[in-house]
Chains A and B, each alone.
Chain A
Amino acid sequence: MNLNTSGLIIDLIQYFFIAFTFSAILSYLILAIISIFENRHYMKKNSFVNYKDILSSTISPSISIIAPAYNETLNIVENVRSLLSNHYVNYDVIIVNDGSKDDSLEKLIKAYDLVKIDYVINNQIPTKPLREGVFKSTNPAFEKLIVVDKENGGKADALNTGLNISPNKYVACIDVDCLLLEESLLKMIKPFLETTDSKVIAAGGVIRIANSCIIKDGKLLDVNLPTNMLVRGQILEYLRAFLLGRMAWSKLNGLLVISGAFGLFDKKIAIEVGGYDTKTVGEDMEIIVRMRRHMEEQKIKYKVAYIPDPLCWTEAPDNYKIFISQRNRWTRGTIETLKKHKKIGFNPKYKSLGIISYPYWLIYERLAPIIEVTGVLYFIFLIVNNAVKWDYAFAFLVLAYLFTVLFSIITIITEELTYHQYKKKGIGLQLITTAFLEPFINHPFILYANIKGNFDYYFNKDIKWGEMVRKGMNKASD
């Protein structure tokens, strides 16, 4: 290879990285602009909705909350109490004890006066068999509670058991440790009932991080910003994703994922597509893609709705080990889903799903970390070969860093002008500081977890869900 050829290759590689970076920046900006307008529209539209009247309505549709639990003995009783304290009238809570090895079931039996009952289950989706069976409370105060004890089959299998058991038209699939706010179910059901020109198949809500928040008797009393920088970084990351990302995708009807922590589904469609996929670790994304694909193939006009209000608060990893394990799983889930549904990618038959959502997800979610690491390796290669044009490199790095910080600050301002959850004095400055530090504190580990996720997906097939060690939100501390 002569000097001209190698120079041309280096130029091409550099142009590729520049094109990728600028297209990513442009896409973030476009999504952010759409999100800001959409947030404003949502706030306007919902500012005069009186939720209280419908909250107590007995003619509102019934919803089943399905919460899988695995070795949750530490908080299971409090968490279930929190789920039972929702103000919505027509709902029941189905706790699926997914073969826990601890004493979760015993604790539930004792705390809620549970007795085993005979229950007819329509096994429309195949699941692992029941272990101890189905339990209900003898105490009328807990009549909404159903506990199912089954053999371990993973989160997706537990959710499928809940789908089989639920007698209701709508199901809310949530993480058992999530704190749902009073109006959360009502706000989630609204698009299903309100939309008349298409069928709403699922709705997702905003997940907020509850570390360091004060929670008592299932109620969020005080919102605090944690001192742990890893958690702070995740708060900023969640705000960016939920306020300036998913809102736009919702507007474009291109939402590919609803957080597994809290999503509401049309049960009939969820069962029609076969429920959650037990073979993937990204079951929350996969079921949405499959439901959307199903609707496109059936040629039925549909929508996946998104509610930007803070509806659900959950605990985020506060140490790097669990954080990396979580992101590793998210990466594998994304790879598995995109691979499984590769047919829809760049396929105009699937409209915006095939020509916008899928390619975006493939390029800027699936491939972005690989491209980024390749860029880093290429940069090292140039350093070794003394071929770095430092003035270019430095100017690019500074600009990219400043864009990241700027984007985060725009997110913080959007949060302040819309939901204003972090009211305490001093938090504004702390959030700005986090915006400056997050690229160093969180991003390298996210990148590492993504690469590890790719490696594990291709070379370490046995790895499944990582364990999430809960501290318990009631005792949340840094």
Chain B
Amino acid sequence: MVNLFYYIVEYFKYSPKIIQLLWASSVVFTLIIIGLSIYLNHIRIRLRAKERIKAVYQKKYESDLIEYLYSGNGVDEISKEQQIIIDYLSNCAKSSLKRKIIISTLLKLKDEISGEIADAIQKLYCQTGLVNYASYKLKSKKWDVIAKGIKELAQFEIKDALNDVIEHIDHPKREVRKEIQMYLVKLFRFEGLEFLNILTNQLSEWDQIQLLEILQKFENQHIPDITKWLESSNNSVVSFSLKLAKIYNQYEAKDHIINLLNHSNQEIRIESINVLSHFGDIDSLIILKSDFNQRSIEEQVIIFKMMEDINEVSDIPFLLEHINNMNFDIKVSVTKILKKLKNSEANDSRFITTDIEYSEKTSLIKAS
């Protein structure tokens, strides 16, 4: 064995430099492989242990929480049993893992219930000092920590943190700004949308859907005047307010929306047609028909979609003009509308010319 070792050392010593480099690299790689294998084993054990601990503590905190909720004397008084639980949870919250488990347990229950019990959970969140940890996150230099802090404060509806949250309104990271927007809307509902007045960045479709989903959870809310947003120079704000107009039937904003039919952005023009279609507005249809040929093909398709719902017999000449339109969607819409108007001429082959494929499609529609 010793001889083999000496042989290897000698071989290495007298080998060319390149061989020495290769073997040295192999030794380094081998050591790294051994080190990483040990590390892998360690992280797998740690992750499994973490999950076990998580499950145990989650169960424990759930039962503590239920005990807390049902051992109260009254709305404002804290019973002795409750105080013991508050102290215990405050103590546990010093550990970041346990804090995360307590928060997730509180949120889990908060999402499932409402009313007084939900208020009690929010109160417990403050009493245990968890709110301070979330507020402290807002002072972090890491954007993801700030965003998580804001999210948590929004989840537990901590309105008092507004000033600290607003400080980050111009944060360079989009995720932080997004969490602030959600915080504002979740806690201050439609009033929270005031940020749209000063928004310079684009509000993505994803953000818009998220905000609308939050707003739709609130019932019987006063809808603010959306017309200023419809006139915004930020296209995403205009787009968002058009969605608001549609969902909350803001018919009074109709004239402003009609103005948007000539907006420089095609997407906004299309969304405006959709909203006016949703309103069933005949005036706007007259405008759209008057300058139909100047509009893009995408707008023309939407105009005909609109006409599928809003139509009258006097539209027939306009429809017949487009029965052989090159665009498939327009052709289908025209046929549908004509069928709806029970115009026997629509089935007349002279309008369908010699387009065999189209003839087949028309017969399919007739059969449908």
Contacts and interface: CB of A to CB of B under 8 A. Distances in A.
A406 B22 contact: no
Given A48-B147, A409-B36, A412-B40, A54 B209 contact: yes
Interface string A105-128: 000000000000111111110000
A299 interface: no
A409 B39 CA distance: 10
Interface in B10-55: 15, 18-19, 22-23, 25-26, 29-30, 32-33, 36-37, 39-41, 43-44, 47-48, 51
B147 A399 contact: no
Interface in B319-368: 328-329, 332, 357, 361, 364-365, 367-368
Interface string A370-401: 00000000000000000000011001101100
Interface string A294-332: 000000000000000000000000000000000000000
Given A61-B205, A118-B364, A120-B365, 8 more contacts: A44-B144, A47-B144, A48-B144, A48-B147, A57-B213, A193-B209, A196-B202, A423-B51
17 contacts: A47-B148, A53-B210, A53-B214, A54-B209, A54-B210, A59-B243, A117-B368, A123-B357, A193-B205, A398-B22, A398-B23, A399-B25, A406-B32, A409-B40, A413-B39, A428-B44, A432-B37
B19 A391 contact: yes
B250 to A, nearest CB: 16
B36 A410 contact: yes
Contact of B40 (A59, A197, A398, A428): A428
B22 A396 contact: yes
Interface in A354-371: none
B236 interface: yes
Most chain B CB neighbours (cut-off 10 Å) among A117, A192, A196, A429: A196
B151 interface: yes
Interface string B236-249: 10000001000100
Nearest to B366: A118
Contacts of A420: 47
B172 to A, nearest CB: 14
Nearest to A427: B44
A403 interface: yes
Determine the main DSSP class of B at the interface with A.
helix
A432 B40 CA distance: 9
A428 B46 CA distance: 13
Contacts, number: 117
Interface of A: 44-45, 47-48, 50, 53-54, 57, 59-61, 117-124, 190, 192-197, 391-392, 395-396, 398-399, 402-403, 405-406, 409-410, 412-413, 416-417, 420, 423, 425, 427-429, 432
A241 B299 CA distance: 43
A181 to B, nearest CB: 19
Contact of A406 (B33, B148, B247): B33
A85 B22 CA distance: 55
Given A193-B209, A392-B19, A416-B47, A405 B204 contact: no
A402 B151 contact: no
B175 interface: yes
B212 A59 contact: yes
Given A45-B175, A423-B48, A398 B26 contact: yes
Interface string B46-80: 01100100000000000000000000000000000
The 5 closest A-B pairs by CB, nearest first: A395-B22, A193-B205, A193-B206, A402-B29, A196-B202
Determine the main DSSP class of A at the interface with B.
helix
B179 interface: yes
A395 B19 contact: yes
A346 B33 CA distance: 37
Contacts of A416: 40, 43-44, 47
Contacts of A48: 144, 147-148, 151, 175, 179
Contact of B205 (A119, A194, A406): A194
A118 B367 contact: yes
Nearest to A61: B205
A58 B147 CA distance: 26
A392 B368 CA distance: 76
Nearest to B30: A402
Nearest to A268: B298
A122 B328 contact: yes
Given A403-B29, A413-B36, A122 B329 contact: yes
A47 B243 CA distance: 28
A409 B22 contact: no
B48 A59 contact: no
Given A118-B367, A195-B204, A413-B36, A402 B175 contact: no
Contacts of B44: 416, 427-428
B226 to A, nearest CB: 16
Contacts of B213: 53-54, 57, 59
Contact of A124 (B25, B51, B328, B361): B328
Given A398-B26, A410-B36, A60 B18 contact: no
A178 B22 CA distance: 44
A119 B364 contact: yes
A60 B47 contact: no
A410 B35 CA distance: 11
A355 to B, nearest CB: 29
Contacts of A396: 22
Given A124-B328, A196-B204, A416-B47, A399 B22 contact: yes
A41 to B, nearest CB: 9
Contacts of B47: 416, 420, 423
Contacts of A193: 204-206, 209
B243 A392 contact: no
A420 B43 CA distance: 10
A124 B326 CA distance: 12
Contacts of A121: 361
Contacts of B206: 54, 190, 193-194
Nearest to B362: A120
Contact of A120 (B22, B36, B39, B364): B364
Contact of A60 (B209, B247, B361, B364): B209
